[in-house]
């Protein structure tokens, strides 16, 4: 999940510039996504996620252990490694963008909280895209037990990292 966890905070940290929606609005007059979703953030965030997945794979192949735990590799061939890593990374940002779209439609402003959805939108996006492009890999790696643990732990991690980002001045809101 590291390639899915890192893109959003790095998109916020390294983003800015031209919004993905080009400042366009829907028929209701509301922005499609808003100023918080930028081309630079999408490229930077997804790149960091992909690099983290490649690093995770390298660590797995070096057989380095941490407290007796070894990281599993994403695969054993370049496509088997890159496809799920890229899907997790891009899917994470696409899930976040999809929720931004929904939030604009229900008239929530940028940064307004939407509990649970704010904490799991990127996970849903990562899982959906990964399942679509690599279903066998997804099923082999995301068992029901793992999904349950991630659905419980991810909101806690998300809230914690957002508070840290807020304290550091990276985020405007602590949620």
Residue 38 domain-assigned (yes or no): yes
175 is a domain residue: no
- Strand 69-70 and strand 65-66: the pairing is antiparallel
**Domain assignment of residue 155, yes or no:** no
Nearest 5°: the CA angle 4, 7, 8 is 105
82, exposed or middle or buried, with CB in 10 Å at 0-12, 13-18, 19+?
middle
**Angle in degrees, 0-180, between the axes of helices 78-105 and 39-62, rounded to the nearest 10:** 140
37-60 residue pLDDT tens: 999 999 999 999 999 999 999 998
Residue 145 lies inside a defined structural domain of this protein: no
Number of domains in the chain: 1
Domain that holds residue 48: 2-140
More confident residue, 172 or 131: 131
In a domain, 153, yes or no: no
Q: How far apart are CA 27 and CA 91, in angstroms?
A: 26
User: Over 80: is that where the pLDDT of 175 sits?
Assistant: no
Task: Say if 60 falls within a structural domain.
Answer: yes
Largest separation between any pair of C-alpha atoms in the chain? 56
Give per-residue pLDDT as tens, 136-145: 999 999 999 9
Whether 33 maps to a domain, the answer reads: yes
Does residue 48 form part of some domain? yes
| Rounded-to-integer distance, Cα 78 and Cα 62, Å | 16
């Amino acid at each position: 999940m590291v390639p899915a966890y890192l893109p959003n905070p790095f998109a916020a940290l390294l983003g800015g510039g031209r919004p993905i929606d080009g400042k366009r609005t829907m028929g209701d007059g509301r922005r499609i996504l808003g100023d918080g979703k930028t081309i630079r953030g999408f490229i930077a965030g997804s790149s960091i996620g992909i690099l983290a997945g490649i690093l995770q794979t390298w660590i797995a192949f070096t057989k380095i252990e941490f407290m007796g735990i070894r990281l599993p590799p994403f695969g054993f061939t370049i496509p088997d490694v890159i496809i799920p890593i890229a899907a997790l990374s891009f899917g994470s940002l696409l899930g976040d963008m999809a929720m931004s779209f929904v939030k604009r439609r229900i008239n929530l402003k940028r940064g307004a909280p939407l509990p649970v959805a704010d904490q799991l939108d990127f996970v849903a996006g990562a899982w959906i895209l990964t399942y679509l492009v690599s279903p066998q890999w997804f099923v082999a790696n995301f068992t029901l037990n793992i999904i349950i643990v991630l659905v419980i732990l991810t909101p806690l991690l998300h809230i914690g990292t957002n508070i840290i980002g807020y304290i550091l001045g990276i985020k405007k809101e602590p949620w």
